[in-house]
């Protein structure tokens, strides 16, 4: 029986990066200006003063040391504190599509086959640049791919939900190969004026080609099993949407950008994901303690370390629980795919690993893979 294979991956990384030191300097300058402008209200107790951020605070809270962004100048401007990404005409390739196409071309080059063999394109990401036409269809057209394409959004879990969807298309015989892309402009939905979250996100795009095993070349990764889970929570939320126009008094409010209750998220998500991984491994007849490598969602180093210890039953050895968020920060759905793309070496045929994501929803996805001969 044919099954799905991860045949190739691709990555697009912006050429601009922001260090914690640079980010902290910008935020602290913004905080000082805010406090000066609102000194009277602060003195009266009507407005709370903003406190400084610090490199030590960021690295202890998250493990993040830097992040790639599409526009550095806008983020570091204390009078703006947001990326400057101009709108493009309808005749130009959209920003999100451009990123995805670059990552896709990287994956296609590694795959070594013509795009005519791809039957579907999935754009799976936490934020779409527009409601319609679908970003996936624009990406499909730019790459010259036939078949069908559509967008899907499950926040930080979008990539594993996309892998599951692609694997199901392969298993059903609908198509022989699927291109899944994860373009993430996370800097555009991050509130850089919020001390508790201004450091979290970065920009990037990833791509994965999933192919039928009956036509896949040697190498690659057999998808052994996929599992998805959702449970509603308001603890990670972004209220930006088309209905904002129907309530203009809320436009520009902080909840129209990323907001979260981090401690509650940690308490809820870590055990949910840890148990899900162990249960899914058991269902597949796999010993989770024998995984050669885990490529987890890159949100917070403390979450990943806890999950790694719970799944492996011990402290992970260097390289077993891949961490790339120190350089990339949280890149939403793309994080686990970046980790997989950059750190899948050293596997012998038969070795197993896990791609896992989790985030707003709540949502979580597990994809167990085995190295092919």
- What length is written for the chain? 373
**Whole-angstrom distance, CA of residue 354 vs CA of residue 357:** 10
Contacts of 93 (CB under 8 A, 6+ apart): 101, 138, 142
Say how far apart CA 316 and CA 322 lie, in whole Å.
10
Whole-angstrom Cα distance, residue 213 to residue 367? 16
Catalytic residue among 123, 156, 186, 356: 156
Could you tell me which of 238, 239, 235 has the C-alpha nearest to residue 262?
A: 235
Evaluated on CA atoms 324, 328, 334, 340, the torsion sign reads negative
The H or E element containing residue 295 is: strand 293-296
**φ and ψ of 185, to 5 deg:** -100, 70
C-alpha to C-alpha distance for 355 and 111, rounded to whole angstroms: 20
* Residue 156: active-site member: yes
- Axis crossing angle, helix 301-312 with helix 262-283, rounded to the nearest 10: 30
d(CA 178, CA 150): 12
Catalytic residues: 156
């Amino acid at each position: 029986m044919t099954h799905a294979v991860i045949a190739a991956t691709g990555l697009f990384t912006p050429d601009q990066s922001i260090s914690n030191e640079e980010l902290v300097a910008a935020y602290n300058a913004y905080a000082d200006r805010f406090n000066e402008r609102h000194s009277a209200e602060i003195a009266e107790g009507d407005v709370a003063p903003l406190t400084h951020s610090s490199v030590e605070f960021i690295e202890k809270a998250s493990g993040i040391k830097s992040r790639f962004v599409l526009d550095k100048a806008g983020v570091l401007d204390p009078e703006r504190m947001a990326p400057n990404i101009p709108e493009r005409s309808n005749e130009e390739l959209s920003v999100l599509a451009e990123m995805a196409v670059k990552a896709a071309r990287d994956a296609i080059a590694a795959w070594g086959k013509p795009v005519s063999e791809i039957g579907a394109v999935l754009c799976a990401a936490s934020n779409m640049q527009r409601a319609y036409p679908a970003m996936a269809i624009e990406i499909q057209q730019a790459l010259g791919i036939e078949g069908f394409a559509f967008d899907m959004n499950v926040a930080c879990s979008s990539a594993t939900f996309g892998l599951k969807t692609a694997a199901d298309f392969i298993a059903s015989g609908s198509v022989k190969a699927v291109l899944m892309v994860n373009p993430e402009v996370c800097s555009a939905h991050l509130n850089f004026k919020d001390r508790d979250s201004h450091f979290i996100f970065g920009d990037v795009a990833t791509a994965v080609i999933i192919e039928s095993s009956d036509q896949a070349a040697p190498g690659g990764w057999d998808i052994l099993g996929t599992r998805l889970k959702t449970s509603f929570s308001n603890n990670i939320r972004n209220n930006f949407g088309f209905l904002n126009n129907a309530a203009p008094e809320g436009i520009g409010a902080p909840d129209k950008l990323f907001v979260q209750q981090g401690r509650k998220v940690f308490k809820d998500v870590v055990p949910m994901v840890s148990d899900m991984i162990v249960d899914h491994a058991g269902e597949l007849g796999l010993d989770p303690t024998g995984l050669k490598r885990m490529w987890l969602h890159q949100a917070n180093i403390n979450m990943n370390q806890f999950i790694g210890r719970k799944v492996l039953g011990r402290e992970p050895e260097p390289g077993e629980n891949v961490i790339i968020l120190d350089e990339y920060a949280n890149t939403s759905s793309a994080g686990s795919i970046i980790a997989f793309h950059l750190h899948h070496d050293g596997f012998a045929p038969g070795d197993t690993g896990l791609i896992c994501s989790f985030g707003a929803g709540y949502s979580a996805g597990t994809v167990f893979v085995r190295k092919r001969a």
